């Protein structure tokens, strides 16, 4: 009997009658042996994961790490006998252990896990399902995608698994995880793929798979399998207030992971490309300012000098609609597309420039270190403020031409030439709500890249009136930050 449930006889009879009408959900192996009672609908079956788990579990390892952490500054000199408990600066230290998961991708001893599992580790060990334990060395990491590759020296070939296609798995498909939750190694859980393309704000390449498979602390770095036994994701994060499974977990897709692992094995680090631009979101306000119907693509806010983008003729104000044949639906798509393109190739880039689509050929060159391939320019969250007329002062700006004194006061970079310096922003104004700060420099109004920088306050007022008279409800401002970076911002021209 189920605790907490109580039935009177009539209710119990009604419950059992209703239950008989529900199709049974049984594992496939049991359903094949169980005949359906008369009058019961056809039996729906669930897969059994036992054979799959048996085949794969030896390829999954527990990752054990040892780290030295500093506890604080001592209040007194350290006695000689206790030197081993303190670092070179006299700060007390402690050895701590961490756990995670990983999986073998090469029988010779190559293991994949998360970067955050082994970060700052003094020692790393791989513990196999049979209890054997091997010291691991770090081959390389990619912090931006949270991937690390380890190497062990096994006495005999290991059981290895292969990457499958995360693009082919569909939302609703069964998936299975094996890992080391809470240090409980060899734990098998199953669920479905809940969603794809999740952006967690963890980095420029966020494109996580989401699953309701039970994933907990210690599962990080472990594999997410499809029913063919292929790795379609690396379990990386959970959404939980308690740190325990809440039915929402995230994995790095295998399409990303397999490429990064191959690069680390060949080069010792991830090798990704860049084209030399800064970008920002095409918001509804930006789209309206450009006169386009839908907010899509990535807006180029700056083209760096001497880069492949400049050589290809790309301009600030271009909206990138596709990159190498892949549609850029949102700004966050572009850094991933560039990073996934082989270094040294030249690819077509479709841009929207002053209302006309143009195709450019852009070379992809290698980015240094772990910098993202495309920098992202920030944008404030809009909240329109009504106003009765159109001048910079009404918008909330106090502006002045650049002078040596203002350049020094606001530490404006020498690369910013011309334009009007924002010397003050009225509180509760539209300018304030759009995120403008003193020291910003408004270079021009509108989308025309050949427009000379603004020189007087009268010029910006006249340009705002021209935008309004042209029937536009918003105006686009091209703005330089004090450090020289540029971005586009929009302002509404009528309540």
| Residues with a known catalytic role | 116, 146, 220
Q: Provide the 10 A C-beta neighbour count for residue 239.
A: 14
3-state secondary structure of 134: strand
Tell me 85's DSSP state. G
Q: Provide the 10 A C-beta neighbour count for residue 245.
A: 20
| 295 touches 283 (CB < 8 A) | yes
E-assigned strands of 397-471? 397-401, 420-425, 441-445
| 83 touches 92 (CB < 8 A) | no
| 160 Rama sector, left if φ>0, alpha if ψ -120 to 50, beta otherwise | beta
E-assigned strands of 183-230? 187-198, 208-211, 223-225
Rounded to 5, what percent of the chain is helix, strand, coil?
20, 35, 45
Which pairs with CB-CB distance under 8 Å and at least 24 residues apart come from 375-378? 375/277, 375/278, 375/279, 376/204, 376/278, 376/279, 376/280, 376/331, 376/335, 377/278, 377/279, 377/280, 377/301, 377/302, 377/485, 377/486, 377/487, 378/280, 378/435, 378/487
3-state secondary structure of 380: coil
| 165 touches 255 (CB < 8 A) | yes
Task: Name the CA dihedral angle for 216, 219, 223, 229, rounded to a multiple of 10 degrees.
Answer: -60
3-state secondary structure of 17: helix
Which pairs with CB-CB distance under 8 Å and at least 24 residues apart come from 447-453? 447/289, 447/290, 447/317, 447/354, 447/476, 448/354, 449/315, 449/316, 449/317, 452/418, 453/417, 453/418, 453/419
Cα–Cα distances (Å) from 55 to 117, 223, 422, in that order, read 25, 14, 66
Burial of 419 (0-12, 13-18, 19+ CB in 10 A): buried
């Amino acid at each position: 009997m189920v605790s907490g449930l109580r039935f009177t006889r009539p209710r119990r009879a009604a419950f059992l009658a209703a239950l008989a009408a529900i199709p049974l959900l049984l594992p496939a192996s049991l359903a094949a042996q169980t005949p359906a009672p008369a009058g019961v609908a056809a039996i729906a079956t669930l897969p059994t994961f036992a054979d799959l788990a048996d085949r794969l579990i030896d390829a999954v390892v527990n990752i054990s790490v040892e780290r030295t952490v500093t506890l604080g500054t001592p209040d007194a000199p350290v006695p000689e006998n206790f030197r081993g408990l303190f670092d070179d600066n006299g700060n007390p230290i402690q050895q701590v252990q961490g756990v995670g998961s990983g999986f073998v991708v090469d029988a010779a001893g190559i293991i994949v896990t998360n970067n955050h599992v082994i970060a700052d580790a003094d020692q790393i060990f791989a513990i196999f399902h049979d209890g054997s334990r091997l010291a691991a060395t770090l081959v390389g990491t990619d912090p931006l995608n949270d991937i690390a590759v380890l190497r062990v020296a096994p006495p005999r070939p290991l059981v290895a698994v292969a990457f499958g296609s995360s693009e082919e798995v569909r939302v609703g498909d069964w998936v299975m995880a094996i890992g080391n939750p809470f240090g409980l190694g060899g734990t098998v859980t199953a669920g479905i793929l809940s969603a794809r393309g999740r952006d967690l704000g963890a980095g420029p390449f966020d494109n996580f798979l989401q699953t309701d498979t039970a994933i907990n602390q210690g599962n990080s770095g472990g594999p997410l399998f499809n029913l063919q036994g292929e790795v379609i994701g690396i379990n990386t994060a959970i959404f939980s207030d308690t740190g325990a499974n809440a039915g929402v977990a995230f994995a790095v897709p295998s399409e990303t992971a397999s490429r990064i692992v191959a690069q680390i094995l060949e080069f010792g680090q991830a090798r990704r490309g860049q084209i030399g631009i800064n970008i920002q979101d095409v918001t509804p306000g930006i789209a309206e300012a450009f006169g386009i119907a839908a907010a899509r693509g990535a807006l180029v806010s700056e083209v760096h000098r001497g880069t492949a983008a400049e050589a290809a003729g790309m301009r600030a104000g271009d909206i990138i609609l596709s990159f190498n044949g892949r549609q850029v639906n949102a700004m966050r798509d572009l850094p991933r597309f560039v990073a996934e393109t082989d270094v040294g190739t030249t690819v077509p880039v479709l841009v929207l420039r002053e209302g006309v689509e143009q195709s450019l050929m852009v070379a992809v060159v290698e980015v240094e270190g772990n910098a993202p391939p495309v920098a992202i320019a920030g944008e404030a969250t809009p909240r329109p403020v009504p106003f009765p007329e159109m001048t910079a002062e009404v918008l909330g700006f106090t502006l002045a031409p650049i002078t040596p004194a203002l350049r020094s006061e606001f530490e404006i970079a020498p690369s910013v030439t011309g334009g009007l310096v924002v010397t003050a922003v009225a509180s509760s104004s539209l300018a304030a709500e759009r995120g403008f700060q003193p020291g910003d420099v408004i270079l021009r109004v509108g989308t025309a890249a050949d427009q000379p920088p603004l020189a007087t306050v009268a010029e910006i007022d006249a340009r705002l009136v021209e935008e309004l008279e042209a029937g536009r409800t918003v105006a686009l401002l091209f703005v330089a930050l004090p450090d020289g970076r540029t971005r586009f911002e929009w302002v509404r021209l009528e309540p």
